[in-house]
Amino acid sequence: MAVTEASLLRQCPLLLPQNRSKTVYEGFISAQGRDFHLKVVLPEDLQLKNARLLCSWQLRTILNGYHQIVQQRMQHSPDLMSFMMELKMLLEVALKNRQELYAPPPPPQFYSSLIEEIGTLGWDRLVYVDTCFSTIKLKAEDASGREHLITLKLKAKYPAESPDCFVDFPVPFSASWTPQSSLISIYSQFLAAIESLKAFWDVMDEIDEKTWVLEPEKPPRSATARRIALGNNVSINIEVDPRHPTMLPECFFLGADHVVKPLGIKLSRNIHLWDPENSVLQNLKDVLEIDFPARAILEKSDFTMDCGICYAYQLDGAIPDQVCDNSQCGQPFHQICLYEWLRGLLTSRQSFNIIFGECPYCSKVSKLLITSHKMS
């Protein structure tokens, strides 16, 4: 109790007990540099769920619309200090929303200058603008015909304050800005960034068009990784550097050991053959001495099997990436499913971050491993 009271005094120094039994607290709660008067009346058993909260009219006005949340937190908070901390966070949110709601509109020249800038830029490049002209979306095409969007969140003091920019890029996009800058200057930087990433997107598009990509199912332009099917229950995961897209990417194989190990040996043996002048896909073919399964001949279902534990293909967005090493079995599993299964077996054993145990599908003494750090 003494620890809780000390914490309460430290977090809310302006809220003090008004009697010896400490059933009444009165004082102030602070948020955004302002103090608001309130009073908390606790029952004799000090249970917060039966307490009463009395607020000043200023605090009551600001928390208008949050009454149900306040009551809910009083019902579930373990003590007064926890409740006061949650009330303070709620008050911060309410004040911020109130400021945004009652913020004065920009002057007329704000709108006229924006309309002029969009006109100079070209109305055909405008995808969306809201009624307040605070959110603007512009589009551009790269040399390969791909369309890209940039979303601009303009602030009330634009152009004195730089807008927030949101793009679907694999690298950070930081636009330089001065009070003399405009939409045109940001758009020019957007175009330059698109051009610098053209080679990266060419590499990724070739992979997406000519191979069976298992993950991600619908890759955004910012995605640098691809898990590519190599055969039945065997795949390669590559991580491409957007700044050096034709260099050797980070690679690791997923599948049974007897299938994966020969591929790893080929990669090590032929790594000197990697030629940055060729595409990543062509280099992978040369180094691994394989042909990727063609989209024109095979269906994705030829490479996808349900997990042998949960009997589903997708589980929370993940697909099976662990395979039984028994060549007669080869059943795939979700990593989390296999982890939970092996952890529950008395016969399983763990060595560092790897768990070994029997396959839950073929019932043979086939050791399966899983990196437990991925389960945290």
Helix (H/G/I), strand (E/B), else coil: 129: strand
Model pLDDT, residue 376? 44
pLDDT greater than 50 at residue 205? yes
Q: Which of 227, 228, 170 shows the shortest CA–CA distance to 199?
A: 170
Q: Predicted confidence band at 317 (pLDDT cuts at 50, 70, 90)?
A: confident
Give all domains of the chain, ordered by start, each with its CATH number: 1-101 (3.10.110), 108-193 (3.10.110.10), 211-297 (3.10.110.20), 304-375 (3.30.40.10)
Q: Can you give the pLDDT at residue 372?
A: 42
Percent of the chain with pLDDT strictly greater than 90: 48
pLDDT in the model for residue 52:
92
Asked if residue 301 lies in contact with residue 293, where contact means CB atoms within 8 angstroms, the answer is no
Going by their DSSP bridges, the two strands 126-129 and 52-55 should be labelled as unpaired
Contact present, 226 and 300 (Cβ < 8 Å): no
The pLDDT value given to residue 373? 41
> Is the pLDDT assigned to residue 338 strictly greater than 90?
no
* Chain centre to alpha carbon of residue 113: 36
Q: What is the mean pLDDT of the chain?
A: 87
Q: What is the pLDDT of residue 149?
A: 97
Antiparallel, parallel or unpaired: β 15-17 and 24-31: antiparallel
The residue assigned the tokens 């993940």 is 318
Does the pTM of the predicted model rise above 0.95?
A: no
Residue 374's pLDDT is: 47
pLDDT digits (tens, 9 = 90+) for 239-290: 999 999 999 999 989 887 788 899 999 999 999 999 999 999 999 999 999 9
- Residue 248: predicted pLDDT: 95
- 165-188 pLDDT per residue, tens: 999 999 999 999 999 999 999 999
CA-to-CA distance for 62 and 292, rounded, in angstroms?
A: 62
**pLDDT above 70: residue 102:** no
Residue range 38-63, pLDDT digits in tens: 999 999 888 888 899 999 999 998 99
How confident is the model over 336-361, as a mean pLDDT?
A: 81
In the numeric block, which tokens belong to residue 84?
């006061």
**Residue 296 confidence (pLDDT):** 65
Compute the average pLDDT of residues 99-114: 78
Q: Answer with the residue of higher pLDDT: 376 or 167.
A: 167
Whole-number Cα distances in Å, 330 to 321, 326, 364 = 12, 6, 12
**Mean pLDDT within 325-352:** 81
Higher pLDDT, 70 or 326: 70
Cα–Cα–Cα angle for 273, 276, 281, rounded to 5 degrees = 80
Assess whether pLDDT exceeds 70 at residue 301: no
Confidence class of residue 96 from pLDDT cuts 50, 70 and 90?
Answer: confident
For residue 154, pLDDT over 80 is answered with yes
Report pLDDT digits (tens) over 122-152.
999 999 999 888 899 999 999 999 999 999 9
> How many Å is the Cα radius of gyration of the chain?
30
Task: Give the pLDDT band of residue 79 (cuts 50, 70, 90).
Answer: confident
